[in-house]
Amino acid sequence: MRMIKNTSKTIQIVNKDEAYHQYLLKRMDDSPDRPVGEFGFVEFQKGPIGESGVNGCQNEDLLAIVIDRLQYFQNGHYACRENALALTKIQEALHWLEARTKDRVGRGVEGTNIP
């Protein structure tokens, strides 16, 4: 089982089958105010939507969540240059993933395993 270390959390890859992944987020330190434990689970789409239906999230879904959160910070007391730069880059990443989808729709291969 592979683990990804990210600050005080560890992200455990629960299932990795080609492009389908499940991730379990755990707190790994034992600080008294935040005990070790699980606090999040992400399950990505398994199989093409055209063949399997919607059964998990997409990369774009998680980016949209982070964009919303950073925009909230930028509209309040937590606004800063670093958040603004991160927000711009994440919006750019979302743009390119959406451009990929538009291209696939235009080629008639969206929702399939065809590259």
Residue with tokens 């059964």: 55
Contact between 57 and 43 under an 8 Å Cβ cutoff? The reply is: yes
* The pLDDT value given to residue 12: 74
Sign of CA dihedral 103, 65, 63, 14: negative
Ranges under pLDDT 70 in the chain: 1-9, 16, 18-20, 28-36
What pTM was estimated for this model as a whole? 0.81
Q: CA 96 → CA 65, 74, 81, 92, distances in Å?
A: 16, 23, 23, 6
Domain boundaries, the chain: 1-54, 58-107
Separation CA 64–CA 102 (nearest Å): 17
Alpha helix ranges (H) inside 1-115: 49-52, 59-74, 81-107
| Digit-coded pLDDT (tens) for 50-67 | 889 999 999 999 999 999
* The pLDDT value given to residue 77: 94
Q: Say how far residue 45 (Cα) sits from the centre of its chain.
A: 11
